[in-house]
Amino acid sequence: MNKIIVIGNLGRDPEMRYTPNGQSVTSFSIASNRKYTTAAGEQREETEWFNVSAWGRHAELCNQYLTKGQQVYVEGRLHSRTYETRDGQTRFVNEINLTDVQFLSRGSDMGGEASGYAPGPGPGGMGDEGPPMEDVDDLPF
């Protein structure tokens, strides 16, 4: 099973583009923080960055409603790829191909309650019906 769930804040505004066949894709990055105490009792915080790609309807929703700094829940599969830079160097990239998203904090265009749920494609391309995460404070991590 290839599944990753990340809750974090957008590090930059989403960027939407279109593939040659017209499919929309939106890219953005998420910073997820972890606080811990060392064996010496020192408080530390580390930040892990994740690149996210959303396709189709999810791409449109993410581009429309997400902004830099906003907290978001993303679920997807981890995808690894390589590419060559202009100077001929090969780069390796891990990114999340988004399947589900929930907007956890208020964006500039969102009125009223600040959360939303956008289920991913299920069997036959239909969206899975599932409840939104009502309270992320109840998560065990």
DSSP states along the chain: ---EEEEEEESS--EEEE-TTS-EEEEEEEEEEEEEE-TTS-EEEEEEEEEEEEEHHHHHHHHHH--TT-EEEEEEEEEEEEEE-TTS-EEEEEEEEEEEEEE-S--TT--SS--EEEPPB-GGGPBPP------GGGS--
**What would the pLDDT profile of 54-93 be if each residue is shown by its tens digit?**
999 999 999 999 999 999 999 999 999 998 999 999 999 9
> What is the pTM for the complete model shown?
0.70
pLDDT in tens, 101-136: 999 986 544 443 344 444 444 333 333 333 344 444
Kindly list the structural domains of the chain, giving each domain's residue range(s) and its CATH number in brackets, ordered by start: 4-35+43-138 (2.40.50.140)
